């Protein structure tokens, strides 16, 4: 009975992750450089995600076929290292703006908020292409943070060819730097 419950939980995690990835992909598929999604407050999803395997920031993990079965994603052979997320105090100048006000005019979602950067190192250890989903960042209140795209700061990829490596930077809107955790596939970094 316990194995059946584990399978049910794994399927739920996979479905939730897939749904979030599809929603994020659709919401960010426009040609505008200023892409963003809306905040998702689905506590049931974050509760499921919290039960995923936990790693420390800067730890690497290579996804397996067993992970693929749990998430219904094709990540086997993808090596992921989630670096320590950090608040960027100079985001407006790093993005090429002369002032904070000019930055806020273009990125109003950051007014009164913080720019949280999540650096991720990826490596395809297989002989085939792997699509790379976006991570999900959740705050200490179990609420997913709003994703944003900032020209000059964000670094995204859609996937990796065989043997290819990449460094990405995802940008999120944060109220503060309270403890956050980052999910990628069925793994959690904290």
As a whole number, mean pLDDT of residues 18-26 equals 45
Of the chain, the percentage scoring pLDDT greater than 90 comes to: 58
Tell me the per-residue pLDDT of 157-167, one tens digit each, with 9 for 90 and over: 999 999 999 99
Give Cα separations from 32 to 6, 20, 100, 155 (angstroms).
41, 21, 21, 15
pTM score of the predicted model: 0.72
What is the torsional sign of CA 145, 151, 156, 157?
positive
**What are the residues whose beta carbons fall under 8 Å from the beta carbon of 76, sequence distance 6 or more?**
63, 64, 65, 67, 68, 126
Strands 187-189, 159-160: parallel, antiparallel or unpaired by DSSP? unpaired
**Residue 108 DSSP class:** G
pLDDT value at 149 more than 70: yes
| Weakest-pLDDT range from 85-89, 169-173, 174-178 | 174-178
CATH at 17: 2.60.40.1240
pLDDT value at 2 more than 70: no
Residue numbers of the domain that contains 62 = 2-189
End-to-end Cα distance, the chain: 30
The beta-strand segments (E) located in the chain are 53-55, 60-62, 78-82, 86-88, 114-124, 130-131, 136-138, 146-148, 159-160, 165-174, 181-184, 187-189
Q: Which residues pair with 165 in a beta bridge?
A: 123
pLDDT value at 84 more than 70: yes
Q: Is the pLDDT higher at 25 or at 187?
A: 187
pLDDT value at 37 more than 70: no
User: Across the chain, what does the average pLDDT equal?
Assistant: 80
Domain count, the chain: 1
**Dist CA 129 CA 162 (whole Å):** 6
Q: DSSP 3-state assignment of 170?
A: strand
Give the confidence band of 53 by pLDDT, cuts at 50, 70, 90.
Answer: low
| Weakest-pLDDT range from 17-21, 74-78, 85-89 | 17-21
Give the confidence band of 45 by pLDDT, cuts at 50, 70, 90.
Answer: very low
């Amino acid at each position: 009975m316990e194995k059946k419950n584990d399978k049910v939980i794994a399927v739920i995690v996979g479905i939730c992750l897939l749904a979030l990835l599809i929603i994020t992909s659709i919401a960010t598929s426009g040609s505008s450089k200023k892409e963003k999604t809306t905040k998702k407050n689905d506590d049931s999803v974050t509760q499921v995600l919290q039960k995923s395997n936990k790693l420390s920031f800067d730890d690497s993990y290579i996804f397996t076929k067993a992970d693929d079965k749990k998430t219904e994603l094709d990540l086997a052979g993808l090596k992921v290292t989630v670096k320590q997320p950090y608040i960027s105090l100079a985001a407006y100048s790093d993005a090429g703006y002369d002032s904070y006000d000019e930055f806020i005019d273009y990125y109003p979602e950051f007014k009164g908020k913080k720019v949280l950067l999540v650096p991720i190192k990826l490596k395809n250890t297989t002989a085939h292409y792997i699509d790379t989903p976006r991570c999900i960042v959740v705050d200490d209140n179990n609420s997913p943070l709003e994703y944003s795209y900032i020209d000059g700061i964000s670094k995204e990829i859609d996937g990796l060819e065989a043997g290819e490596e990449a460094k990405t930077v995802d940008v999120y809107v944060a109220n503060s730097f309270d403890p956050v955790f980052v999910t990628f596939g069925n793994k959690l970094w904290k």
